[in-house]
Structure formats: structure tokens, C-alpha cells
Amino acid sequence: MTSATQPVVKLGLQLLRGPAGAVLVMTAIFVVATLAFFAINGREAVSLFQEMVMGAFGDSYSFSETLVKTAPILLTALAVALPARLGLISVGGEGQLYLGALFGTGAVLAAVDQPGWILMPLMLAGSMAGGALWGVIPGLLKTRLGVNETISTLLLNYVGILLVSFVVHGPWKNPNSLGWPATIEFPAGAILPQFFDTRVHMGLVFGIVAAIVLHILVTRSRWGLGLQVSRSNPRVGATAGISYERNVLIVMAVGGLLAGLAGIAEASVIQNRLQDGLASGYGMTGFLVAWLAGQHFLRIIPLSVLMGGLLASADSLQLYAQLPKASADILQALLFIIVLAVASLWARRSNI
């Protein structure tokens, strides 16, 4: 080995011992596990894996569909990560998403004849209010009554989904929908802008901007510092004038608001109306992504894209290999397990 290459190798080794190495190991294990899963089930492992990658990122259409999935995952992940900064475990992204769609749609129905420049802000404000409400309620239950936020957000998820079912089957059902449980179609003024003639929409931009802003706020601002103090010791925080209770309400409200935006984006752009089955488990996926990212706002962005890709590319498993939908769930779980295991072991090793 020449002396010139030595520092490079040394640096490389150093990097490998750090996070880069962990990511490399995770990826390697996941690829091997996926290939093994395909092979066990009697499929052409390597070519199927290629199809899967192509299905997520292979061409502009596939990538656009990955980004369509990314938007709600990103926003619901933020809705989990922000409360986590205060030590709160919220699993309420799904319910907040539905409430956002519910209130946003309510605003659209109330102002349906208004021009877009009135309708659109009303719709967005409504969705944020709805999502925030479904965040504030568990926040209040926590601060006022001491109810554990994990269980209250969990229970409210089911309630939120049923409330949407109630309005689309009942009071808000479009009389001309031939009996189908859905509201009227949103007018053009209530359809969020889309990009490049794809279904990729403003929701993605909201998510990215929110992630960046939150990152700056939490790491750089006095308020963010307050969150850290509040979290490690509410009493110390209180003597410094930081109200733990108020912060609980703020992080839950802001988190809910973001998930609410995801909901109205799905209703407005993807469905053009409010109906049952608006989101298929984005809340849970968002929760996963937030934890995979270690509740780090900026890391959430690429991980949401990856997870969106994994979910969107699950199509190819069905299309090319006739593997049932459940195989995508198994792969998602495998990915999660591998990342958790490797990250935890890596962290433990570096602590020694």
C-alpha cells in the first residue's frame, strides 16, 4: 500500500465505522433478505428485484408515483416526529389525516361557489384546523387529565375514520353520485396544484418545507431549545419560564395540522372528493418512517421517498411475479427490523 492511499483508506474505514457503515450494512442485509424471500417463494430473485427497483425509480412515471406516495408519508411522519421531540409518542397520524380531509372538505362544501383564491385558502385552513383539533384533543387529555397520549391518539384514529364514513354515507353524500358514498367532486378552484402533468402535488412541497422549517426551529430557535429542556426535565423548564403543558399542545397541534394537510391533499388531488378509504395506512407508515429516521426531520425526507418507493414498487411484485400484496408488507417489516437491529447494535458499539 502506498503512503498516498493510506489516508484515504483510513478515512474510509472511519466513515464505515460511523453512520455510513451502518447504512451500508443495512442495505446489504435488506437486499440479501429480499432476494432470499423471492428465492424461497420460487421466483427469479435477481430479475424480480430489478423490476422492483425499476418500479420505484426506473422511469419518470414510476418516480412520480413514488413521490405521490411520499407526500402523505412525509407529512404523517412529521406529525409523529415533532411530538417525539417532547417525548410524546403519538400514533395519531391516520386520524389526523382523516380529520384534515373532513374539515377541509367541509370548507369546500361551505364555500363551493367561491373563486379559487378564496376557496383554496379556506380549504387548507380547514384541513389544518381539523388535523390540529385531532392533535390538540390528546394534548389536552394529556396535560389536563394525564391520559397517556399513545392510547388516546390510537383510539381517536378509529373515531376519525368512522366520522368520515358517517358524513360520506350521510349528510355530505352527493345526491347525484348514483348512491355511491362520496361527496360532490371538488370544483377546480379546490384542486391543489400538480407538477409536470403528473399526480405529484403541492402536498409534497408542504412536507419538504415543513421538515426544513421544523428542523431549523427545533435546532436553532429558543423555542426548540425550550423543547429539549422541557423534555428532559419539565420542572427545570418551568423555572426558566417554559411551559411544558403549552409545548405539548403546540407540538400536538402542529403535528396534527401537517397530517391534516396530507388528508386534504389526498382528497383534493387524488380523489377529487371525500370518500371512504381515503388513505390506506399512511399513518402507520409515517410512524415507521419517523422512528427509522430517529425523529430527525431532515432524515425523514429521503426515508419517506424510499418508503414511498417500496410501497409503489410493490405493484411489480404482483404484476411480474404474482406475489400477493402481503409480500410487500413482509418486505416492509423486514426492512424495518433490519434497520432497527443494525442501528441499535451500531449505536451500542460506538458507545463502548
Partner 1 sequence: MEYFTTELLTLLFAALRSATPVLAVVLGEAMTQRSGVINLGVEGQMLLGAMTGFAVASVTGDPWLGVIAACCAGIALSMVHAILVLGCGANQIASGVAVLILGGGLSAYYGTPFVGDKIDALGNLNHTFVSDIPLLGEFLGPITPTVLITLLAIPAISIFLFRTRTGLRWRSTGESQDITRNLGHNPTYYQLAAIAFGGLMSGFAGAALAVDYTANWVEGMTAGRGLVAVGLVIVARWNPWYALPAALLFGASEALNLKLQSWGVDISPYLLATLPYMIPLSVLMLSYRGLRASGGGMPAGLRVVFQSAR
Partner 2 sequence: MKKVIRTLLASSILAISVQAAAETKVGFIYVGPKSDYGYNYAQDQGRLYMEEHMDDVETVYFENIPENADVQRVMERMVRSGVEVVFPTSYGYLDHALKVAEKYPDVHFAHSGGLKTSDNLMTYFAEIDQAMYLAGVAAGLTTETNQLGFIAAHPIPQVLRNINAFTRGAQSVNPEVTTSVIWTSSWSDPTKEAEAAEALISGGADVLTGHVDSPINYVQVAERRGVYSVGYHADASQFAPKGWLVGAIWNWGPMMVDIVNSAKDGSWKSEHLRGDLLTEAAMLSDFGAAVSEDDKQTVLDRQKAIMDEEFQVWAGPVIGQDGTVIVEEGDTMTLEETEKMDFLVQGVQGRLK
Closest by Cα among 160, 102, 95 to 127: 102
Position among 284, 298, 315, 320 found at the interface with partner 1 (CB under 8 A): 284
Spatial distance between the Cα atoms of 242 and 220, rounded to a whole number of angstroms: 16
Residue 231 · residue 94 · CB < 8 Å: no
Note whether 349 binds partner 2 by CB under 8 A: no
**CA-CA-CA-CA dihedral for 209, 212, 215, 218, to nearest 10:** -50
How many residues form the binding site for partner 2 (CB under 8 A)?
A: 35
Stretch that binds partner 2, among 110-118, 167-175, 240-248, 293-301 (CB under 8 A): 167-175
Buried/exposed code over 237-252 (b: 16+ C-beta within 10 A; e: otherwise): beeeebebeebbbbbb
Residues in region 257-276 near partner 2 by CB under 8 A? 266, 270-272, 275-276
Note whether 349 binds partner 1 by CB under 8 A: no
Note whether 158 binds partner 2 by CB under 8 A: no
Residues in region 133-192 near partner 1 by CB under 8 A? 141, 145-148, 150-152, 154-156, 158-159, 162-163, 165-166, 169-170
Note whether 343 binds partner 1 by CB under 8 A: yes
In order, the DSSP letters of 191-248 are: SPPBSTTSS-BHHHHHHHHHHHHHHHHHHHSHHHHHHHHHHH-HHHHHHTT--HHHHH
Question: Is 113 or 197 the residue whose CB approaches partner 2 more closely?
Answer: 197
Note whether 280 binds partner 1 by CB under 8 A: no
Please report how close the Cβ of residue 69 comes to partner 1 at its closest, in angstroms: 16
Spatial distance between the Cα atoms of 348 and 44, rounded to a whole number of angstroms: 37
Note whether 44 binds partner 1 by CB under 8 A: no
| Residue 163 contact partner, candidates partner 2, partner 1, none, CB within 5 to 8 A by sort of partner | partner 1
Stretch that binds partner 2, among 83-91, 106-114, 129-137, 313-321 (CB under 8 A): 313-321
Closest by Cα among 264, 283, 286 to 129: 264
